[in-house]
Amino acid sequence: MPTRRRPRLAPSLLSADFADLASAIREAEAGGADAFHLDVMDGHFVPNLSFGPALVRAVRARTKLPLDVHLMIEDPLRYVDAFHRAGGDTLVFHVEAQSPPAEVVRAVHRLGGAVGAALRPETPFSAVEPLADDLEQVLVMSVHPGFSGQTFLPEVLPKVTAARERLDGLGRETDVSIDGGVTAETAVAAARAGASFFVCGNSVYGSGSVGENLKRLRTAVEVGSHREVR
């Protein structure tokens, strides 16, 4: 049976109140978050703009939890150093971006960071396969990147399973991360499919109490991770 990792929850600060990130961080930590996900957008790779290393640095000063920096930018190679220095623990780049993927992986590892490769919904797992042995994370996008609050695309679930199986086959502990439209409902399906790292924006910060929202998500990922015997 493949190794089952403890499922982890990573609230995405893109959905939080940017004027009060300190509270957003504190509430998520109190609610048992395992990491924070930071969505960097350049207005080219995706139509939206968000923030750069200065904000990552400000978040770093407020939490000891791992920072998962999702680079939705055309030229990740040019910026990995800045995001690493700002305190990003895992730098997640898109294989569809312009930088040569193997060079990005090498650059991040040379800096001593962890690296993830992200796939848009329409990009197959085969696009990261040549790198699979060198990755700490494979991020499967379950919405088209650019905005929080979109609806989960269930058609990516077979790709989550394929990723998990291939990585298990290589004997790799690599996380398979799911990002976009993750709610207490869709998280169960994603966990069953093999995801171990769950990015949650709107379902944590959209409405209600952050602590209650995280509790519901925690139950969902535990249920999804344990029920299926593989």
Which positions are annotated as active-site residues? Answer: 39, 179
Nearer to ligand DX5 by Cβ, of 48 and 161: the residue is 48
Q: What DSSP designation does 145 have?
A: T
Residues 6 or more apart whose Cβ sits within 8 Å of residue 62 = 21, 22, 25, 26
Residue in 208, 201, 205, 159 with CA at minimum distance from that of residue 180:
201
């991020």: which residue's tokens? Answer: 139
Q: What DSSP designation does 153 have?
A: -
CB of 229 to ligand DX5, least distance (A): 29
Q: From the list ligand DX5, Zn ion, none, pick the one residue 202 interacts with, judged by a Cβ distance below 5 to 8 Å according to partner type.
A: ligand DX5
Helices 76-85 and 53-60: crossing angle, nearest 10°?
A: 30
CB of 38 to Zn ion, least distance (A): 8
CB of 107 to ligand DX5, least distance (A): 21
């305190």: which residue's tokens? Answer: 87
Number of H helices, E strands in the chain: 8, 8
Return the residue of 15, 46, 60, 70 that touches Zn ion, per CB under 5 A.
70
Nearer to Zn ion by Cβ, of 70 and 192: the residue is 70
Q: Determine contact, residues 117/142, Cβ cutoff 8 Å.
A: no
List binders of Zn ion among 160-199 (CB under 5 A): 179
Q: From the list Zn ion, ligand DX5, none, pick the one residue 14 interacts with, judged by a Cβ distance below 5 to 8 Å according to partner type.
A: ligand DX5
User: Which residues of the chain form contacts with ligand DX5 (CB under 6 A)?
Assistant: 12, 14-15, 37, 39, 70, 143, 145-150, 179-182, 199-203
CB of 141 to Zn ion, least distance (A): 7
Using CB positions, name the residue nearest to Zn ion. Answer: 70
State the binding string over 2-31 for Zn ion (x if CB under 5 A, else -).
------------------------------
The CA distance from 45 to 41, in Å, is: 7
Q: 147: helix, coil or strand?
A: coil
Residue in 108, 163, 119 with CA at minimum distance from that of residue 143:
119
Binding site for Zn ion (CB under 5 A): 39, 70, 179
